[in-house]
Structure 1
Amino acid sequence: MAGQQSRTLFKPCIDLHGGHVKQIVGGTLSDAPESLKTNFVATKPTAYYAELYKEHGLEGGHVIMLGKGNNDAAKEALAAWPGGLQVGGGITDQNCQAWIGAGASKVIVTSFLFPEGKFSLERLEKISSLVGKDSLVVDVSCRRKDSRWFVAMDKWQRITEMEVCKESLDTLAKYCSEFLIHAADVEGLCQGIDEDLVKKLGEWVTIPTTYAGGARSISDLDLVDNLSGGKVDLTYGSSLDIFGGSLVNFDELVLYNTVAQKAMQQ
């Protein structure tokens, strides 16, 4: 295993919809409320989760605003742990610096890079210059077409012309410091990760990368570690007990990280 140099770690998340922490089946997210399938709606505020992650030193977690009405909830999380969380969802050249100012360690961008569904290198260059490469994450949310994957935007409903492959990721990596990869087809289903995608990411990525979608067991951390050679980290959503799930225990994930990080330091 590639654990001596790099090792897959658990990365936390806070998904926001309608101002609340929620876990949603990714493929059902759209402007039509009747199509939405929700696995969990939190009774606790966003600050609770931010403080929980801070307590356990879980850096690099992402706060994702799914649609409108989430700005206040996102700011609450950032205020609870300034510099400890990334923020994404509706990030543009107009608001990226303000979110860094609000306490985000990095901003996460997707749809802004695809006006009319077509990738704009000019927009990527602009937002990277505004916040700096080290403060920018590109969310390569994608959906599968046969044995290939294409970037999905607008709540993962609109498929762009950009294929997720080594060439496209190398282009993006010149302007950002990290990738967040949502596999929208398996997001929220708790039916397993997209193993083919994770394996490919291990071959393709050259910068820190977190995969999200389908994780349902703590053993998925070892699976992702093996498939990616330790190059890809993993986030959990609907399967996690702090989000109403019954398959994965948060404290066990924290312990896993502690053991893995000690192994990397040896």
Structure 2
Amino acid sequence: MEFRPCIDLHEGKVKQIVGSTLGQKNVIENFISEKDASYYAELFKQDGLTGGHVIMLGPSNEEQAKLALTAYPGGLQIGGGITADNAKKWIDAGASHVIVTSYIFHDGKLDMERLKKLVEAIGKEHIVLDLSCRKRDGKWYVVTDKWTKFSDFEVNRENLSFLEQYCDEFLIHAVDVEGKKSGMQEELVQDLAKWTTIPTTYAGGIRSLEDLERFKTLSGGKLHVTIGSALDIFGGNLPYQKVVQYCNS
């Protein structure tokens, strides 16, 4: 189990927001940093954390994203508006991987042509598929377009096994609890631990060291974890350094 940190960018600033409000008129912002993205990238580099993700939530974030990648080349993944046409630009800029959702899931369906084009452009070893999901009718489905639209793609053992042929890792937000510091989606954690065979990072709702211990138990230590709004470096109460120490131990 590794701690995978995050740098979320919105309107050119490092922020923590409730992701499910992104498509709405009033975005709920948990935290707006006075520091730029390079500060956090250097912190994660100093602590030897790899596989963290920089997410560009909307336009006007490329400058900050490049600052982070320059500060920690090879140590961060990048997501937000990634396509087969621009993916190599971000790998060349220092990202270890690109993260994609809406590009390969559009009009509610998985677009295999786009996914294969992405693999051809940069290789599966540089691809993270973000399968952030919500529950409907007792099943998990990928949601797209800033988490506002259900796709018809079910997150289950069979489908994850199929997608593992085309990527290096999965990043999976539990959309209904992400950013709310309300506890994790325990059933999803257990399902992912059973279903995935490549590195998979879970995000959503973890707010304490007790939650981290519960996460480790539920996942059998098999999944990686990211924490955002709950961390003290993003205005929360959970000490970042204690999370680093816990996951390192």
TM-score (norm 1): 0.91
The corresponding residue for 1:116 is: 107
Task: Pick from 186, 194, 199 the counterpart of residue 203 of structure 1.
Answer: 194
The alignment yields a C-alpha RMSD, in angstroms, of: 1.0
The corresponding residue for 2:5 is: 12
* Bigger RCO of structures 1 and 2 (CA < 8 A, at least 6 apart): 1
Residue identity matched to 2:79? G
Shift of 1:85: 0.3
Does the CA contact (< 8 Å) of 1:79 and 1:103 recur in 2? yes
The corresponding residue for 1:182 is: 173
Hey, what's the Cα distance between the residues in 2 that align with 1:146 and 1:251?
Answer: 39
Shift of 1:146: 4.1
Does the CA contact (< 8 Å) of 1:177 and 1:207 recur in 2? yes
The corresponding residue for 1:258 is: 248
The 5 A counterparts of 1:10-159 are: 10-30=3-23, 32=24, 34-159=25-150
Shift of 1:186: 0.6
Does the CA contact (< 8 Å) of 2:142 and 2:155 recur in 1? yes
Does the CA contact (< 8 Å) of 2:106 and 2:144 recur in 1? no
Which runs of 5 or more residues in structure 2 are unaligned?
none
The corresponding residue for 2:225 is: 234
Per-residue deviation, residues 202-244 of structure 1 (Å, max 9, x unmatched): 1100100000111111222222221122221111111100000
Residue identity matched to 2:248? T
Change (3 A) 1:146 1:214: farther
Aligned residue for 1:77, secondary structure, equals helix
TM-score (norm 2): 0.97
Hey, what's the Cα distance between the residues in 1 that align with 2:221 and 2:113?
Answer: 32
Residue identity matched to 1:114? F
Residue identity matched to 1:178? E
Aligned residues: 249
Aligned residue for 1:86, secondary structure, equals strand
| 223-232 or 210-219: bigger deviation | 223-232
Which runs of 5 or more residues in structure 1 are unaligned?
1-7, 260-266
Does the CA contact (< 8 Å) of 2:132 and 2:173 recur in 1? yes
Does the CA contact (< 8 Å) of 1:84 and 1:105 recur in 2? yes
